[in-house]
Chains A and B, each alone.
Chain A
Amino acid sequence: DVKVTQSSRYLVKRTGEKVFLECVQDMDHENMFWYRQDPGLGLRLIYFSYDVKMKEKGDIPEGYSVSREKKERFSLILESASTNQTSMYLCASSSVVTKQYFGPGTRLTVT
């Protein structure tokens, strides 16, 4: 079974803190994705990566950066967390021919 894991299920951070969200997949997938999910807005793509050290902006990259140093790991970084970044963050991975498999999600609260 494909497994996508995320470092935390729940996270509370203060405004201005640097926040790292980590995602690991065990299926040797080329593609990895970070989404945020907010009520009434569905899933919005923040960044994605189609190879190690490669990244592409999604629909809402402002305030975020990413890092992919190893194929299995894709990190989302909030350089200076703000209250409007309070959200559910979902990581996903896929190969070029498969559907996306999602991790369990991280519910981030910025106070």
Chain B
Amino acid sequence: DAGVTQSPTHLIKTRGQQVTLRCSPKSGHDTVSWYQQALGQGPQFIFQYYEEEERQRGNFPDRFSGHQFPNYSSELNVNALLLGDSALYLCASSFWGGYGYTFGSGTRLTVV
């Protein structure tokens, strides 16, 4: 079992551009959560998807959006990138209603 897989590993974008990050959950998990981890900080919750719907959202602007597909994989989209969006983006999968989160290795996004 490969666990949670995220792609790409690293990404460099220019201010104002748009980016899409991808996540494949651990086999059997049906819920995907996204976190942003800025340098020197703990991960911050962005949103969570279950049954292809956004179930919860953290304190992030509408520029951050997501999607979950029927196979439970998920995408995180960020529009109009700002320098402050530079961070490690983590995907975590779990069973809906469970606390057993499995994290991916993350995508390192650099906005220049």
Report whether chain A binds chain B: no
A residues contacting B by CB (< 8 A) are: none
B residues contacting A by CB (< 8 A) are: none
